């Protein structure tokens, strides 16, 4: 029996998109926390530190990769995929 749940690792593309989405979300939360802390205590200078710059760069990189992979996943028509799968299983 093949599952369609969260732990279905047979679709590697979906697993990669899921992992990248989680990494992007964690980095976004980190940047927001640094921003709020920086607004509360300006002396910490979180948003101007080298660590924050690298975190924002990583967030931008992972957001770009995640967006591109999701666009490609949405671009692939599921009906066309289903017809191809049905044709190949009949053969």
End-to-end CA distance of the chain: 21
69 in Cβ contact with 20 (< 8 Å): yes
pLDDT at 87: 78
2 in Cβ contact with 10 (< 8 Å): yes
pLDDT at 28: 95
pLDDT at 44: 87
The pLDDT tens digits along the chain (91 residues) read 455 665 667 778 888 888 999 999 999 999 999 999 999 998 888 889 998 899 999 999 999 999 999 888 888 766 777 777 777 777 6
Measured CA to CA, the distance from residue 7 to residue 4 in angstroms comes to: 8
- Percent of residues in the chain assigned helix, strand, coil, to nearest 5: 80, 0, 20
């Amino acid at each position: 029996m093949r599952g369609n749940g969260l732990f279905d690792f047979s679709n590697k593309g979906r697993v990669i998109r899921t992992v990248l989405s989680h990494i992007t979300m964690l980095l976004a939360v980190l940047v927001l926390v640094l921003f709020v802390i920086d607004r509360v205590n300006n002396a910490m200078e979180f948003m101007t530190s080298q660590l924050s710059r690298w975190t924002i760069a990583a967030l931008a990189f992972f957001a770009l990769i995640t967006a591109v992979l999701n666009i490609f996943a949405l671009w692939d028509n599921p009906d066309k995929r289903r017809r191809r799968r049905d044709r190949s299983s009949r053969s």
